[in-house]
Amino acid sequence: MSLPALTLALQAAQLSSRELSSCDLLDAVLGAHAGRGDEANAVVGLRAEAARAEAVEADERLTRGEPLSRIDGIPVLIKDNMVQRGEETTCASRILEGFVSPYDSAAVTCLREAGAVIVGRSNMDEFAMGSSTENSIHGPSRNPWDLERSPGGSSGGAAASVASGLVAGALGSDTGGSIRQPAAFCGVVGMKPTYGRVSRWGLVAFASSLDQIGPLARTAEDAAILLGILAGHDPRDSTSLAEPVPDYCSALDGDVRGLRIGIPKEFFEAEGADPVVLEVVREAIAELERAGAKTLAVTLPHTPYAIAAYYLIATAEASSNLARYDGARYGHRSKKARTLSEMYTLSRSEGFGTEVKRRILLGTYVLSAGYYDAYYRKAQQVRTLLRSDFEKAFEVCDVIATPTSPEVAFRIGEKSDDPLKMYLSDIYTVSANLAGIPGISIPAGFAHELPVGLQVLGRSLDEATLLRAADTFQRRTDHHAQTPRGWLR
């Protein structure tokens, strides 16, 4: 049995018909990980024994005809910044090595209540700070399409795991594009829901007003299944929205006739964008037009300021959130410290990596007296303008289509010495986080023999329309069915 050949929906169907068992699926995951799966360095915490117990329980439910959900018995991965009771969570950082959580995150609780088999944690950039999954104490993850290239970040391990066929679905987190950009680089589907649609309870915070949990999968249908499991109000998260959750799968009718797609010129005129990538994206939009959608020009005039605003707000919030890692309560504590002050300084110096230190320093600076108004407050004002841009655009269109990334997957190490170049990898994705709107990246085709992503953005809480557009596109194309050579057999 070849697990990589099956989507999450197909796995569910074969479990239901008893053609497969949950233990069969888990054996395939463990076998794949023992083989080529490890080459991508996508998984950092395999929990084979615990997952086996969960698979056995799922098989017993399935035998009795009592499945808990469509993902009951299906192996999935979570990102290494979502806590699990009794399991290590490191955020790919030395400062959290050995930390074992006393409780489950809301996302993990949703998976458990649905009967999913959590097979382990996926690699990531340290504290989700990065666009390449190179900033990890576990070493860089690698793109299954070319092991010399990055799978994107910070959810690169999750995207690589789905692209390589290790699992059919995984959870990532998206602060400025960290689900969508890796999805584009690895040729899979990645969705960032509306801010507040999925609970952040138990997600280790990077930038609290921007972070969101979302699914990565091979198809829009699979993403809809996973989002339906995750979405909903959580009173433990003060930012969680008390709004009804629709049946996302029922929205996948393959019909986009009359759908109005806005095309923002600012996204297609960005400096440094690969013209071949842009042409692939234009052709993908043309395919939706052939399916009956209508395109029109829209403008998002404050887009050029999005990257600057994002990196001021995100680093300021990171500076505040990461202040809790001081060696006193949990996490790494320096053994060289002789005083309390030295304990704080040395624990952080030894525990945090270069990129995390860089962002803490920048965030602390922009929040400091004399600079708060000039930088942080101004960035928040730009954020309001960006949100207003989207609101005005959605008065005349239903969704907005853009490239997900200005380029295909870059080589590992290519941008390590130039943080500004790395930050520009998120030029097309950060606006959605600043505005709090949902976005999805779907495989649009190939440039330079590597995957290209089409990003579709929508109104708040209108994930269903994005999933419908993505599903319609996938019904008419086979880009999502293309797989990295030598991985999926």
Task: Kindly report the CATH number assigned to the domain that includes residue 47.
Answer: 3.90.1300.10
Residue range 249-271, pLDDT digits in tens: 999 999 999 999 999 999 998 88
Instruction: Describe the strand order of the beta sheet including 399-403 as a list of residue ranges.
Output: 43-46, 117-122, 75-79, 169-174, 212-217, 189-192, 439-447, 450-458, 399-403, 260-264, 294-298
- Neighbour count for residue 124 (Cβ, 10 Å): 33
The CA angle 211-215-217, to the nearest 5 degrees, is: 150
Q: Which of 24-38, 257-271, 304-318, 433-447 has the lowest mean pLDDT?
A: 24-38
Residue range 452-481, pLDDT digits in tens: 999 999 999 999 999 999 999 999 999 999
> What is the domain count for the chain?
1
**402: β partners:** 455
For residue 451, the SS3 value is strand
Q: How much is the pTM?
A: 0.96
Catalytic residue of the set 22, 79, 141, 425: 79
Residue 339 falls inside a structural domain = no
Q: Is 238 one of the catalytic residues?
A: no
171: domain range? Answer: 3-262+395-481
Catalytic residue of the set 178, 199, 240, 347: 178
Residue range 176-188, pLDDT digits in tens: 999 999 999 999 9
Residue 23 falls inside a structural domain = yes
Higher-pLDDT residue of 377, 421: 377
Calpha distance 489→48 (Å, rounded) = 22
What do you get for the CA distance between the two ends of the chain, in Å?
A: 10
Catalytic residue of the set 93, 101, 154, 173: 154
What is the structure's pLDDT at 370?
86
Residue range 16-43, pLDDT digits in tens: 999 999 999 999 999 999 887 789 999 9
- pLDDT bracket for residue 488 (50, 70, 90): low
- pLDDT bracket for residue 417 (50, 70, 90): confident
Indicate left, alpha or beta for 450 from its phi (over 0: left) and psi (-120 to 50: alpha).
Answer: beta
Calpha distance 198→377 (Å, rounded) = 27
Residue 268 falls inside a structural domain = no
- Strand duo 439-447 + 212-217: pairing: unpaired
| Mean per-residue pLDDT of the chain | 95
Residue 104 falls inside a structural domain = yes
Residue 120 falls inside a structural domain = yes
Q: Is 79 one of the catalytic residues?
A: yes
What is the structure's pLDDT at 1?
42
- pLDDT bracket for residue 489 (50, 70, 90): very low
Residue 279 falls inside a structural domain = no
Residue range 354-384, pLDDT digits in tens: 999 999 999 999 999 888 989 999 999 999 9
Q: Is 154 one of the catalytic residues?
A: yes
Residue 284 falls inside a structural domain = no
Residue 330 clears pLDDT 60, i.e. is over it: yes
